Amino acid sequence: RKEVEQDPGPFNVPEGATVAFNCTYSNSASQSFFWYRQDCRKEPKLLMSVYSSGNEDGRFTAQLNRASQYISLLIRDSKLSDSATYLCVVNDSWGKLQFGAGTQVVVTP
């Protein structure tokens, strides 16, 4: 079983709509959770950390469900510029970061 699993998508979203997707992780002892954004043929960029109580950053909301071992990302009022691949990142048993393969989001006009 992979440490971090994501639906590869693509999630096709009309501009202005809301999109949400999850990521599951296998290590119940994980303590660090992040979402990164990666544009085509570019480096991943940190979008936001995910805290136990959930957190927002503008139009982006991240949630953590420890019982079911998943994190989620919700994007409200989607913009064309939100089109990207979103990487879920979780620390493993050795304290290193494990990256999911990503969920592709395509925002259409």
Partner 1 sequence: SQTIHQWPATLVQPVGSPLSLECTVEGTSNPNLYWYRQAAGRGLQLLFYSVGIGQISSEVPQNLSASRPQDRQFILSSKKLLLSDSGFYLCAWSVLAGRYEQYFGPGTRLTVT
Site residues for partner 1 per CB under 8 A: 4, 8, 31-32, 34, 41-46, 49, 87, 91, 95-102
Nearer to partner 1, 54 or 76 (CB): 54
Phi-psi sector, 53: left (phi>0), alpha (psi -120 to 50), beta? alpha
- For residue 89, the minimal CB distance to partner 1 (Å) is 8
Nearer to partner 1, 78 or 104 (CB): 104
Check if the beta carbon of residue 26 is closer than 8 Å to that of residue 69: yes
Considering the complex, what minimum distance in angstroms separates the CB of residue 15 from partner 1? 26
How far apart, in whole angstroms, are the C-alpha atoms of residue 29 and residue 26? 9
Q: What's the CA gap between 83 and 91, in Å, rounded?
A: 26
Which residue lies nearer to partner 1 by CB, 78 or 84? 84
